[in-house]
Amino acid sequence: MKFGLSDTVIKELQDVFRRHANIKKVLIFGSRSKGTYREGSDIDLAVIGEGVDYNQILTILCEIDDLELLYSIDLLDYNKKKGTPIGDHIDRVGQIFYEAA
């Protein structure tokens, strides 16, 4: 179970990102990337792509919500967080969760 998530959960989440052609990569960060997660820990994800905006983030979150996973998802636009404390954290501990073919 990579990142403490089943292969099914990972595939379902990756399928959501795959439907958005401008999303080139998604990084997982926080406790799941560091291996310090616990049962019920949220999933912190940062999307990287051209033209990502707030509306697209909301759309993706709605699509993820439709999966009815038992996890809370935090999703942000990496490019808007570069150079901030959270961006620095992602640079340090982020791991590739999804990468477009």
**Is residue 1 assigned to a domain?**
no
What are 68's two structure tokens?
């009815």
Mind listing the pLDDT tens digit for each residue in 48-94? 999 999 999 999 999 999 999 999 999 999 999 999 999 999 999 99
**pLDDT score, position 87:** 97
**Is residue 2 assigned to a domain?**
no
- This prediction has a pTM of 0.94
Q: Give the CATH number of the domain where residue 75 resides.
A: 3.30.460.10
Residue 40 has pLDDT above 90, yes or no: no
Mean pLDDT of the chain: 96
Residue-range definition of the domain harbouring residue 86: 7-99
Among 64, 52, 72, CA closest to 16:
64
Residue 39 has pLDDT above 90, yes or no: no
The total of structural domains in the chain comes to 1
**Is residue 40 assigned to a domain?**
yes
